[in-house]
Amino acid sequence: MHVFYLHGFASSAQSKKAAYFGARLRSHGVALHCPDFNEPDFATLTLTRMLDQLARDIAALEPGPVVLLGSSLGAVVALHTAARLPGRITQLVLLAPALLFGKDGHKFLGPERVADWRARGVLDVSHFGYGETRLLNYAFYEDSLRYDALTADVTQPTLILQGLRDESVDHRVVEQYAATRSHVALKLFDDDHQLMASLPVMWDEIAAFLDLT
């Protein structure tokens, strides 16, 4: 089994969740692949680049089932990759999936800030992985509008872990998504977007879902 951890927006492959799940998977003899989507440059990041990078990493693997464990924007990457590679991706685990990513840009940034982003060509982003502000090209926003996670043709068994106090991803959107798809199991937690307080119980759910127990 090959398992990939796909980090979220302005996060990194060295995130606490990646380290936590990596350690537990190793105890079962499973290695965790953690692509760094910030490379080669955060400023030129696009969803298309993330998808292409992951596709290359998967193509380079030896044969075997591939599980995608995606967080927030990484969950969106997981969904679109599963739709593109249905014969290779066997299961998905989605943490606080940003299902409306791109479409919600005006909601979180506001129309004026989006307009300023377009005019300036760059946006100042608080990058959690780097611990500092980084610039991001407007091409990121334009590119994100090309993708719709809600219509991605995904049929692989999927486990979604979602916080009820998530201020970035509306749990009601996630609940509606899961309710209309028989291949999706949803677990809700009294937690925020980061889901850090729920790591142990989430691991129990993931281990059972991947039949590691």
With contact defined as beta carbons under 8 Å apart, do 25 and 32 qualify?
yes
Task: Look at residue 183 and tell me whether its pLDDT is greater than 80.
Answer: yes
CA atoms within 13 A on the CB side of 10: 14
With contact defined as beta carbons under 8 Å apart, do 110 and 85 qualify?
no
Q: What does each C-alpha distance from 114 to 77, 119, 140, 164 come to in angstroms?
A: 23, 9, 12, 28
Residue 14 sits at φ, ψ, to 5 deg, of -100, 25
Delimit the domains of the chain by residue range. 2-101+149-209
In this predicted model, what pLDDT tens digit does every residue of 118-169 receive, in sequence order? 999 999 999 989 899 999 999 999 999 999 999 999 999 999 999 999 999 9
State mean pLDDT over 170-174. Answer: 96
Mean per-residue pLDDT over the chain, rounded? 95
* H-helix or E-strand spanning residue 26: helix 16-26
State mean pLDDT over 21-26. Answer: 97
Instruction: Residue 8: name the closest of 196, 139, 157 by CA.
Output: 196
If phi > 0 it is left, if psi is from -120 to 50 it is alpha, else beta; for residue 127 that is beta
Task: Look at residue 49 and tell me whether its pLDDT is greater than 90.
Answer: yes
60-64, 99-103, 187-191 — which is least confidently predicted? 99-103
Terminal alpha carbon distance of the chain: 15
Task: Look at residue 117 and tell me whether its pLDDT is greater than 80.
Answer: yes
Question: pLDDT class for 213, splitting at 50, 70, 90?
Answer: confident
Task: Look at residue 107 and tell me whether its pLDDT is greater than 70.
Answer: no
State mean pLDDT over 50-74. Answer: 96
51-60, 103-112, 198-207 — which is least confidently predicted? 103-112
Q: Using CA atoms, how far apart are residues 51 and 77, in angstroms rounded to an integer?
A: 6
38-47, 65-74, 109-118 — which is least confidently predicted? 109-118
- Give the residue carrying structure tokens 């872990």: 161
Domain 2-101+149-209 superfamily per CATH: Alpha/Beta hydrolase fold, catalytic domain (3.40.50.1820)
Task: Look at residue 37 and tell me whether its pLDDT is greater than 80.
Answer: yes
State mean pLDDT over 82-96. Answer: 97
3-state DSSP assignment of residue 23: helix
Task: Look at residue 108 and tell me whether its pLDDT is greater than 80.
Answer: no
Question: Got the DSSP string for 133-158?
Answer: EEEEETHHHHHHTT--GGG----S-E
- 61 CB-near residues (< 8 Å, 6+ apart): 2
Note the pLDDT of residue 105: 63
Q: How many CB atoms sit inside 10 A of residue 52's CB?
A: 11
Overall pTM surpassing 0.85 (yes/no): yes
